[in-house]
Structure 1
């Protein structure tokens, strides 16, 4: 909508300008209009795909409205633990697992489990996600890969973790996410590589973020996990 509105304003304003300037406005209007048009074409999990999904399924419409409600609560910095349990009932319902809109609920439920340091529950959620959904087609594929590696090293599935590490390093998108998450890198260094010095170094780099007095909700989770991992070195 923003792209369409921007393109329309630029195109309409062109007729109020001098010829050369108006011509530039017309040219510039094509970019946002094309982006809006492309986004409406159903592809992957873009807006067009969402519109098609909710127009064909009552279950998908229910999930979309719940997703919008939950996203509003999260943006309002409501703690994950305070999110209503009713939002996550659909995760275990097979009929909801036919739509890609359920992927968001798996990810929020996973974050909720991490927030409470419920690692077994978090691991179980990721395994259910990969068992019931085509995770490689999901927009949350990079998140799944990194977080499943995190769970693998915690529960001693080191061969699986090493295999995922190789896969992550071979794909630029996954590799970019990897370098953006020191908590997972530190966990891999400590539990899988048993490299204490590398782990300490990564934890020290995280110190500035840990000192932030007003972290966002997601940062709260990382802070809690950071403190949990650092506790291994306090004794």
Structure 2
């Protein structure tokens, strides 16, 4: 009886740290993702950078606790990516870009149906030149898949609209941009509102110029 009790106590002591670590990784991943979102909402560069750096640190701790946690990798991708593009949509660090993409690919390895990661992957495919792995057709397919699976997807609509607009498909681009704006307003996605409004104006101007 005593041996059985000792065995149970020992087993619980061995299992508890693993459970605690996994729970902590999940909590840290949530906090890290929140910091990334707060950084997107911040107006001043220093405030944005502070949130992104904080998010990176939290996500790195989450990954260290549980390397198999997809949300932790995605949160790390988010903060790394936002730091790279904090001064504009351009690649300023090849090393930083590769690290960011590594975290995105790891997210999809662990969770192939992670819609935010699929949306991000599709976005990069439509934006990157072929030399860096870009593939417009494949990227648009991924973005359409995300929209199909998540009718409220705002970011996927915005990026698909941008791709359509760049290819002269202005009517389809406008429909998607308006949908994205309506969804952002309806679901209080304030982080996407400025981009959606700007895109509607941009597509309207290009469509008018084309005619």
**Secondary structure in 1 matching 2:190:** helix
Asked whether the equivalents of residues 190 and 199 of structure 1 are also in contact (C-alpha less than 8 Å), the reply is yes
Taking structure 1 as reference, are residues 63 and 116 closer, same or farther at Cα in structure 2, changes over 3 Å only?
same
Q: Are residues 71 and 107 of structure 1, via their aligned partners in 2, closer, same or farther at CA, if it must alter by over 3 Å? A: same
Could you tell me which residue of structure 2 aligns to residue 187 of structure 1? Answer: 162
Q: How does 1:35-184 map to 2 (within 5 A)?
A: 55-56=17-18, 60=22, 62-70=24-32, 79=41, 81=48, 83=51, 85-89=53-57, 95=64, 98-100=67-69, 101-106=71-76, 108-109=78-79, 112=82, 118-120=88-90, 124=97, 126-131=100-105, 133=106, 135-138=108-111, 141-157=114-130, 160-166=135-141, 175-177=148-150, 180-181=153-154, 182-184=157-159
Give structure 1 stretches of 5+ with no counterpart.
1-51
Range moving further from structure 2, 104-113 or 69-78? 69-78
Shift of 1:222: 1.7
CA distance in structure 2 between the partners assigned to 1:83 and 1:89 by the alignment: 10
Q: TM-score, normalised by structure 2?
A: 0.54
Counterparts in 2 of 1:146 and 1:64: CA distance versus 1, 3 Å:
closer
User: What is the SS of the residue equivalent to 1:227?
Assistant: helix
Q: CA RMSD in A?
A: 4.8
Structure 1 range deviating more: 87-96 or 137-146: 87-96
Q: Structure 1, residues 179-228: CA drift from partner, whole Å, max 9, x if none?
A: 8442133123123x331222123323444456x4x974xx1222132234
User: How far does residue 61 in structure 1 lie from its aligned partner after superposition?
Assistant: 5.6
Equivalent in the alignment of 1:201: 175
The change in CA–CA distance for 1:134 and 1:112 in structure 2 (over 3 A counts) is: closer
Alpha-carbon separation, structure 2, partners of 1:220 and 1:167: 24
Deviations 1:134-179 (A, max 9, x none): 514327622222222223323344962312434666x6x7732378
What is the TM-score when the length of structure 1 is the normalising length?
Answer: 0.50
Aligned residues: 176
**Counterpart secondary structure, 1:98:** coil
